[in-house]
Amino acid sequence: MKTRVDWIASKQGLGFQGVMDNGHTLDLDGNGEGLSPMEAVLMSVGACSSVDVVEIMRKSRQNMTACYCELEAIRAESPPRKFTHITAHFVVEGMDINEKHLARAVQLSTEKYCSVMLMLAGNVDINTSYEIKTAE
C-alpha cells in the first residue's frame, strides 16, 4: 500500500489531498474547513471495526438491517494533541438479533481484527459498548 499527500497550495491554507496507489483520494484540511486528519483517524476506527462487526454478524446468520458506530474521542490539551480516550458505541438493528453474537463480534473486532484499533491500543484508552434495536 502506498500513498502520496499533496499540499493544495491554491487554497492558501492547510488543505491536502491524499491519493492512494489505486487512485482513491481523500481531501484533508488542517484549518477546520474540511475533514481534519484526526477526524479521519476517528472515522477510520469506526469504519474498520464496523466492517468486522458486520462480517461476523453475517457469518452468525443474524438478520441485520442496519449497523452503525457512534464514536467520541478526547484529545490531549497540549501538543501533540493525540487521542487519549475513544468510546465506540455500536448499534445493530434487525429482527431477533442475538445479544451474545453481537457482544462477541464487538469483542473480536476490538481485540483481534480491527487493525486501526489495534494500532492505537496501548496509546489510547478505547472503550466499546453496543445496543440492539428491533427493526420495524
Q: Tens of pLDDT along 38-57?
A: 999 999 999 999 999 999 99
pLDDT at 32: 83
pLDDT score, position 13:
86
List per-residue pLDDT tens for the chain, 136 residues long: 999 999 987 756 899 999 999 999 999 998 888 899 999 999 999 999 999 999 999 999 999 999 999 999 999 999 999 999 999 999 999 999 999 999 999 999 999 999 999 999 999 999 999 999 997 7
What does the DSSP assignment read for 43-109? HHHHHHHHHHHHHHHHHTT-EEEEEEEEEEEEE-SSSS--EEEEEEEEEEEEES--HHHHHHHHHHI
